[in-house]
Amino acid sequence: MQDIMKHTVRSSVILTNAYVAGTVISDLGLKNQLIIIVDFTKGSLDSASIKIEFGYYDLQGTPSYAQETFENVSGGVATETLGTHIFSATGVYRIAIPLKDHSVKISAIGTGTVTNSLMAISAISGVS
């Protein structure tokens, strides 16, 4: 059994002002960790964002996706929001995700003027 797999989600291309999904990672097997690498060139953009969605099957067995959720706890109240990762400077970013899903979809969007902007997304899945 191979412990680590590399996945190309999105080649380095110009961002758009609408979310565009990359290649769905669907060959996860029993992998329980996912490291996402985002290589971002800001260009003329204000910022860029990615959203991460996890594949599951509903009660009828139909495949669907649920977006990553972030939690804020204050005064004994937990508030859940749909998560996005925002990048405001050129760089290579690493995002670690615990995994118990059959597939992962990552979508990217640019905010502002897209001239000279680029984003490549890759991932590494493995077993901890």
Residue with tokens 């059959």: 102
Where does the pLDDT of residue 9 fall: very low under 50, low under 70, confident under 90, or very high at 90 and above?
very high
Count of C-beta atoms within a 10 Å radius of residue 113: 12
Per residue in 86-112, pLDDT (tens digit) is 999 999 999 999 999 989 999 999 999
- Output the pLDDT for position 2: 58
CATH class of 4-126: mainly beta
Domain segments of the chain: what residues?
4-126
Structure tokens at 40: 């971002």
User: How is residue 128 annotated by DSSP?
Assistant: -
**Predicted structure pTM score:** 0.92
Per residue in 38-76, pLDDT (tens digit) is 999 999 999 999 999 999 988 898 989 999 999 999 999
Residues 55-68 as b or e (16 or more Cβ within 10 Å = b): beeeeeeeeebeeb
CB distance 47 to 56 below 8 Å: no
Given a cut of 60, whether residue 6 has pLDDT beyond it is yes
Residue with tokens 């380095």: 12
CA-to-CA distance for 26 and 22, rounded, in angstroms? Answer: 12
Helices (H), the chain: none
Considering only CA atoms, give the Rg of the chain. Answer: 16
Structure tokens at 53: 């969605």
Where does the pLDDT of residue 30 fall: very low under 50, low under 70, confident under 90, or very high at 90 and above?
confident
Per residue in 78-90, pLDDT (tens digit) is 999 999 999 999 9
- Output the pLDDT for position 3: 83
Where does the pLDDT of residue 27 fall: very low under 50, low under 70, confident under 90, or very high at 90 and above?
confident
